[in-house]
Structures are given as C-alpha cells and as structure tokens.
Structure 1
Amino acid sequence: MTSLVQYVLIRGDLARSLKWPSGAVIAQACHACVAVTHTYYSDPDTQAYLRDLGNMHKVVLEVPDEPALLSVVEALNQDEVPHVVWKEQPENIATCVAIKPSVKGAVSKYVKKFKLYGV
C-alpha cells in the first residue's frame, strides 16, 4: 500500500506574537483535521488512511502568519488540492489548513518550504 500523509499547517504567530495559549493553537489543528476528514470522508485516500488507524502519519508544519497561510491556500485552490481552511469564529481568522490525506509526493511542493511546528 502507498504511504499516505496528512499535512497540517498552523500559523506560528498565533503562539509567538499573538500569545495564544498552546491548547488553543492545538485545538485549531484538531478542528481542521476533523473538518477535512469529514469533508472528504468518501475519498479513497481518506478511507485508506482511516482503515489503518495505527499507522496514521501527520506532519504538522509552521507557517509564519496569516498572509503566508493564505498564500498556500491560494496555491492549493488553484491546483484543486482538497483541503480545509480552519477559521476561528466569530473573528473569521484563518488559523490552520489541513490537507486531505494524500500520497506524500502529490502535495509536498506546497509544504516543503515549511519547518515542523514548534511551540
């Protein structure tokens, strides 16, 4: 079976300059992961990813700020890469993006410039 990975991109400025608590930042990623799984539940890659729960592979990456996050979203939209942008409400602030579980090589060009997220 081909290895599937789910990329999650979180804004680093939420914790650093905006001083969000780490739990609030982690919650954003959790919301995005659930939303993308629900949205693309019937997708064959999502189903394969869910069938192998013990071997789920997620990569959580840090983007600097909202403009950088939205730049990735624009590229994903342009190439029709399935993803979900999570927005904190009621402020409507984009905080996180989760990409549907995919073959690593299929989405690496969108995320390779980012480092692992570190609080």
Structure 2
Amino acid sequence: RREKKENLSNHYGMRHVLDVTMRYLSACTVPLRLFTPSGSNLAFSNTSFRVTHSILTRPSQLISNSMSQPAADLNVVATTKDGLQQPENVDVVVQYVVLRRDLIDSWPLGSVVTQGCHASVSAVWSNKDDPDTIDYCSPDKIDSMHKVTLEVKGETQIKNLSEKLTSGGIIHKLWIEQPENIPTCLATKPYPKSIVSSYFKKLKLCK
C-alpha cells in the first residue's frame, strides 16, 4: 500500500512539473537550428515551433501518445523567423490550349484530342530553352503540370485569337492540319498565369 501511495505521489508530481513547463512554453517560441555534418554544403535556416493550445491542455495525452504516434500527428505549428505559417502564393506557370467547338461536334473525339496534343508539344518544344518552359518541365513539376483547355466557335475565331496573341507578344503555336491546311487549335508556350490569363478570360472551358 505504501509503495502504491508513493507511485501515485510521483505520478501527480511529474504531471505538475509538466503542467508548469507547458505553461512556460506557451508564452514563448522555441527556436530550432538544424545542424548539418561538418564540411557539408547543405543550406539551412532558423526555424521555430510554437506549441498549440491542444498540447497545453492535454499534457498527459502527449505523454501517452508520443511513443506510439508519428511526429506528424502532433499538433505543432511550424513558423518561419518572419512569423509566416504558410508560403506566399506563387504565380503558377500554365499552358493554354484552345480547341474549335465545330470540330469537337463533327470530328471523332480522338482526332480533336490529337490536334491539341500536336499544338501543345510543338509550343513546348519550340520554346524548350525559355525559362518558363524549363520551369514547367522541371523534374519536380513534370508530374503536376497546369493546363487550361478552352474552346472557340470555329476557324474564324481561332484565327482572330491567334492574331490577338501575336499582337500582344504572346508566343503560341497555331496548329495547321495537313494536308487539309486548316487551323484546328492553338497552344501557348508555358507562361505565368498572371501574364497570359487576360487574353482568354472571355473564352469558355472546353466541355
């Protein structure tokens, strides 16, 4: 009985110490410096972590779960030295593809898709040394490309759009299908969306 009483005393004593410690941590941000092996060229920066309210109000749960749960499950918010919790919005690099609605309605679907593929690949390859194209096709983005596929009514509209893009300095490929010698679609080279989106704001999504 005495041993059980001592164990209970130790348990509540440790919990009291933990509660006090957690209250102290709630008033400050804990700095964390990531060290790399001596002589390495890896870059690192100062990062800080703030302990959130859920940890402070459930210290005993933190103790019981810390050995069984992965670190990602803990409710800890990472902040930069500037206090930002999320990265700033990035202007996404996107490629616009425009198809003709009249061909969608009269040609086999596969043929229309093929026209769009021709224009897209041609626009990318013709500008393979362009910085935005290099970024668009970089290894870390090649599996998460952004494309917007739109439609116009017919041949006159696709030609007019091509002229509008040319006058605005927007590089693109107007695909002319041979031997029919008809313009079937167009595709821009990859651009930051903020630069090129205004040229397409009146067009409908291809559905």
Q: TM-score, normalising length from structure 1?
A: 0.93
Structure 2 unpaired stretches of 5+: 1-89
Q: CA deviation at 1:116?
A: 1.1
Give the structure with the larger strand fraction.
1
Indicate the SS of the match to 2:159: helix
* Counterpart position of 2:176: 87
What is the count of residue pairs matched by the alignment? 116
CA RMSD of aligned residues (A): 0.9
Cα deviations by residue, 1:3-35 (Å, 9 ceiling, x for unpaired):
10100000010022xx10000000000000110
* Counterpart position of 2:23: none
* Counterpart position of 1:67: 156
- State the alpha-carbon separation in 2 of the partners of residues 106 and 84 from structure 1: 17
* Counterpart position of 1:2: 91
The question of 1:47 aligning with 2:134 is answered: yes
Which structure ranks higher in relative contact order (CA pairs < 8 Å, sequence separation ≥ 6)?
1
The question of 1:99 aligning with 2:184 is answered: no
What's the % identity of the aligned pairs? 45
Compare CA radii of gyration and give the structure with the larger one.
Answer: 2
Structure 1 unpaired stretches of 5+: none
* Counterpart position of 1:20: 107
- State the alpha-carbon separation in 2 of the partners of residues 33 and 2 from structure 1: 21
Indicate the SS of the match to 2:137: helix
Q: CA deviation at 1:2?
A: 3.3
Contact kept in structure 1, 2:91 and 2:193, CA below 8 Å:
no
- State the alpha-carbon separation in 1 of the partners of residues 153 and 117 from structure 2: 19
* Counterpart position of 2:165: 76
Q: TM-score, normalising length from structure 2?
A: 0.55
The one-letter amino acid paired with 2:167 is Q
Q: Structure 1 residues 44-53 or 107-116, which shifts more?
A: 107-116
Q: CA deviation at 1:95?
A: 0.6
The one-letter amino acid paired with 1:94 is P
4+ residue segments displaced more than 4 Å: none
